Each structure stands twice: as structure tokens, then as C-alpha cells.
């Protein structure tokens, strides 16, 4: 099947979805005007590029594997994760969604083999994010996968949002364990994270617009104890109204900030540091919220990042570097010419968080794309997801490919490599052992391998 057609189909599906609910395609618009990611897919980069220096000079593309078709349906990829030699790819909405999670055996990185499909049993949904970790509780011992579930159309009586839990101890034969369900009015869990504290596994969820659509009955962030995967239990929810700068009149989305602007506020993504003591919530124009979850049953607010009056917030995702002392914040700004703000697509900000109550902005990193606003709205030019491996920051950049940035000196980040294959449209990137995995929405799984001979 033509891959441009796959991507175009995904976009068409997203447009239909947007008639019912805000989506990942138009996060900061709750009304009837939507801008779709990749709406200008005809401008996809057609020149394969793999350039690097320093520690990237020996990387090379070794595999490009499309997802399997099922019943004649070709789904597109969402995010990518790796665990114990297997890659896990979430799927987007092409082909009507329900693409589930795809598992690839990475024994030979130059020949990834798709071996399983799971988490596709809830009608009218899509499965973007998957995290896998080894856990050991009185109820479950093995490799636990948690998968975000989002509704394509909330008017579909059979669909529901939340997250699924699966046993993937045998990746060839995943087994369903449980489901954490959101109110039907909420589109679903967009991104999530799995951490383990004192032997207990906890899931952190980003449920965009939950507060808004349920009038505060459910929140955009929930911390869930999944020690018993068959019976996940919500133990904490974060309410932005608990912050002194947010009025009690906050309606769950529109925030009247001190700079005189009405800004969008919702939780888009969440993660923790390596030991699971600190949670980072990407709360769009409220910045990255930092919580102390060292005692998951007694969560404390620590601080947040903020923005100059002329900067769109759009805190999309985060990553941690330098032993948890550096915060990477990516900002998905796809409308670069909004009145009252700087003319720019989304770029990356780097913070010193040794004092988590007062994050200190050290630097910003911009690719050569973010100031290119002449062509109007195009998702090619905004940054998306970050991952850190050692002193290298990897950024997925839609049609801008994957960018590698040296952050040895966080005050002076330097691009050291880029990977832009033909018709690129990258959702996520993940570093595992001696290879980089990238999820190319229209082209499947891409693998970059280090040439150990150099």
C-alpha cells in the first residue's frame, strides 16, 4: 500500500475525529476550529539524510520495516518503546484505529520481525503509548505492559478510554490482565508512564480534558496503583486549582494567566525520574509540573516551569538528564504566528532542576526548522518527543526526522546529527543498547545501528 496514502488516511480519520472531541491534533483548540498534524503531507522531505559527528558518526540505518496488515487494513505507528530485546510500537488512527500494540523481535536489529499484536480489543479506539517494565508483587510477577487507550469518537457507545494492562513476559503471547477506565466523556489516556516504588508498580496517566469534560469529577492527571493489575486503584489526582496562580474559577481548560492572556491548560504527558521519586507532568501552558511522589500515597507539589508573556507554552513532553538534575521540555507549537506571541514553531527548553521548587532555564535548542514560518502551518517544523542517552538528546521532529543534540554542556546544546529518510513523519524515538528505534508513522519501524567497527 502506498505510504503517502496511509498517512493521508490517518489525517482524514483525525479530521473526522476532531468533529467530536479535541485530539492530539489540535490540543489548544476546544472549539470548532482544528488544525491537523501533517495537513501538508505533500511537503514531506524526499531526500534521505543521515548526517552526524562525534558519537553519531558511526550510526547507520539498518532496517525500515512496515507494520503488518490485518484484514487488509494498514495502521500507522505512534510511539515506540523497547524492553529486553523487543520493540513495542503503539499505533495511530489510520485504518480506523484498533491497530493495537505491535511487538518486534530485535534479536537481529537489521531484521526486526513482527511477532505479535495485542491491546486491540476495545472498539473505536487507538493505542498510542506503551511502557513495559519488570515487576514483582504478590499479585503478579513478570513483564508488565501498560497501554494508553483513546476513543476515536466518543459518540461510539462501544468505545471507552483509559489504559490496558498486559502480561508480556512471553512477548509472543501477551495476556490481558486488566483495564483502568475513564469516564465516557473523557477522550482517553493520551500518554502514560510506568514506574516502580518500593516493589510496587504505579501508572501515571495524562488524560487531556478530563477535568474540563467531567467538570472536575475526574482530573487530567491520575496516579494509579497497579500492584494487582486486575484491579488498578487510583490513589491521587492533581488539581491545577491547588496552585495559587490558578483561580478556583478555572474551568479545567481556559486559564487566565498573570500575563493577561487566556491560555490552554491540560495534561498532555507524564513521566518520572529514574528512581520514581519525582513526577513530571506536561501541562501545556501551565508548564511542566513537578511533583514529589517518593511516597505515592502522600504526593507533594514542588514547582513548575513557566513562560515569558510572548512565548506559547505548549509543554508537550519531558525527559531527564544528568542524574535527574536537568529537565528537557519539548513544546509542540504548530501555529507559529499567533497574535501576542513570538513567531516560532515549537522548540526545546533545558532547565536546571537541582532545586525542583525553582526550575532555572539554562538554554533553548532550536533546529533550522522552527523559524521557517513562511509556508504557514506545518507540523514538519515543531519538535515532538525527547529521549536522553548519556549526554545525547534525541528529538523526534515529524517530517524533520530525528535530531541528535550534544547536551554535555546544558547551557550550550549543539546539534550533532540528523536522520531524515524519505517521506519521514516521526512520532517517537527510543534508544536501546547499541541502536536507535524510531517510529515513522507512514513507514513503520526504523532502526539505526552503531557500527562497532569504527
Buried b (16+ CB within 10 A) or exposed e, 30-56: beeebbbbbbebeebbeeeebebeebb
Share of the chain above pLDDT 70, in %: 85
Residue that is written with C-alpha cell 491540560 in the block? 266
**Beta strands per DSSP E along 37-105:** 49-52, 59-65, 77-83, 86-91, 101-105
Question: Cα 210–215–216 angle (5° rounding)?
Answer: 70
Question: For residue range 164-180, what is the model confidence (pLDDT) as tens digits?
Answer: 999 999 999 999 999 99
Helix (H) or strand (E) holding 16: helix 3-18
Least confident of 40-49, 53-62, 190-199, 417-426: 40-49
Closest CA to 305 of 293, 322, 317: 317
Report if residue 377 sits inside a domain. no
Average pLDDT of 45-58? 46
Residue 298 has pLDDT above 50, yes or no: yes
Average pLDDT of 435-449? 93
The answer to whether 324 and 318 are in contact (CB under 8 A) is no
Question: For residue range 8-21, what is the model confidence (pLDDT) as tens digits?
Answer: 444 333 323 332 33
Report if residue 68 sits inside a domain. yes
pLDDT band at 57 (very low <50, low <70, confident <90, very high): low
Report if residue 284 sits inside a domain. yes
Report if residue 341 sits inside a domain. no
Report if residue 366 sits inside a domain. no
pLDDT at 422: 81
Map 99-125 to HEC letters.
Answer: CCEEEEECCCCCCCEEEEEECCCCCCE
pTM: 0.90
Tally of domains within the chain: 1
CATH number at residue 129: 2.130.10
Sheet order of strands, 77-83 included: 77-83, 86-91, 101-105, 113-118
Backbone angles phi, psi at 399, to 5 degrees: -70, -10
Domain, as residue range, for 226? 3-318+413-450
What is the Cα 123 distance to its own chain's centre? 22
Average pLDDT of 49-53? 48
Closest CA to 24 of 419, 13, 9, 158: 13
Report if residue 192 sits inside a domain. yes
Report if residue 330 sits inside a domain. no
Report if residue 372 sits inside a domain. no
DSSP state of 339: T
Amino acid at each position: 500500500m502506498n505510504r503517502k496514502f496511509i498517512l493521508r488516511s490517518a489525517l482524514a480519520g483525525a479530521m473526522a475525529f476532531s468533529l467530536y472531541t479535541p485530539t492530539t491534533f489540535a490540543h489548544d483548540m476546544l472549539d470548532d476550529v482544528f488544525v491537523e498534524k501533517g495537513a501538508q503531507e505533500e511537503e514531506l522531505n524526499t531526500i534521505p539524510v543521515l548526517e552526524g559527528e562525534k558519537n553519531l558518526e558511526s550510526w547507520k540505518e539498518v532496517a525500515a520495516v512496515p507494520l503488518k496488515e490485518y484484514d487488509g487494513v494498514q495502521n500507522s505507528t505512534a510511539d515506540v518503546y523497547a524492553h529486553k530485546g523487543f520493540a513495542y510500537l503503539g499505533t495511530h488512527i489510520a485504518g480506523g484505529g484498533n491497530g493495537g500494540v505491535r511487538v518486534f523481535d530485535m534479536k537481529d536489529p537489521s531484521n526486526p520481525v513482527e511477532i505479535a499484536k495485542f491491546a486491540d480489543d476495545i472498539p473505536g479506539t487507538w493505542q498510542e503509548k506503551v511502557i513495559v517494565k519488570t515487576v514483582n508483587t504478590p499479585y503478579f510477577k513478570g513483564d508488565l505492559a501498560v497501554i494508553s487507550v483513546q476513543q476515536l469518537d466518543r459518540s461510539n457507545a462501544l468505545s471507552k478510554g483509559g489504559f490496558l494492562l498486559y502480561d508480556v513476559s512471553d512477548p509472543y503471547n501477551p495476556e490481558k490482565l486488566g483495564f483502568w477506565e475513564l469516564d465516557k466523556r473523557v477522550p482517553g489516556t493520551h500518554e502514560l508512564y510506568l514506574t516502580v516504588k518500593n516493589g510496587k508498580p504505579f501508572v501515571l496517566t495524562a488524560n487531556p480534558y478530563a477535568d474540563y469534560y467531567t467538570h472536575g469529577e475526574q482530573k487530567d492527571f491520575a496516579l494509579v496503583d497497579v500492584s494487582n493489575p486486575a484491579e488498578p486503584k487510583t490513589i491521587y489526582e492533581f488539581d491545577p486549582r491547588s496552585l495559587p496562580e490558578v483561580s478556583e474559577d478555572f474551568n479545567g481548560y481556559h486559564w487566565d494567566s498573570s500575563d493577561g492572556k487566556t491560555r490552554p491548560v491540560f495534561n498532555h504527558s507524564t513521566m518520572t525520574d529514574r528512581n520514581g521519586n519525582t513526577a513530571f507532568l506536561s501541562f501545556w501552558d501551565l508548564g511542566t509540573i513537578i511533583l514529589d511522589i517518593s511516597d505515592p500515597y502522600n504526593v507533594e507539589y514542588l514547582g513548575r516551569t513557566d513562560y515569558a508573556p510572548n512565548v506559547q507554552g505548549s509543554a508537550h513532553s519531558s525527559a531527564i538528564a544528568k542524574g535527574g538534575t536537568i529537565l528537557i521540555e519539548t513544546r509542540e507549537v504548530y501555529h507559529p504566528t499567533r497574535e501576542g506571541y513570538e513567531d516560532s514553531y515549537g522548540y526545546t527548553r533545558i532547565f536546571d532542576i537541582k532545586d525542583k521548587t525553582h526550575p532555572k532555564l539554562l538554554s533553548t535548542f532550536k533546529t533550522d526548522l522552527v523559524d521557517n514560518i513562511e509556508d504557514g502551518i506545518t507540523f514538519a517544523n515543531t519538535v515532538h518527543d525527547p529521549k536522553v542517552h548519556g549526554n545525547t538528546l534525541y528529538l523526534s521532529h515529524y517530517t524533520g526526522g530525528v535530531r541528535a543534540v550534544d547536551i554535555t554542556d546544558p547551557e550550550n546544546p549543539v546539534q550533532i546529527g540528523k536522520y531524515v529518510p524519505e517521506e519521514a513523519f516521526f512520532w517517537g524515538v527510543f534508544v536501546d543498547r547499541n541502536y536507535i528505534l524510531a517510529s515513522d508513522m507512514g513507514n513503520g519501524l526504523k532502526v539505526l545501528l552503531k557500527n562497532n567497527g569504527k
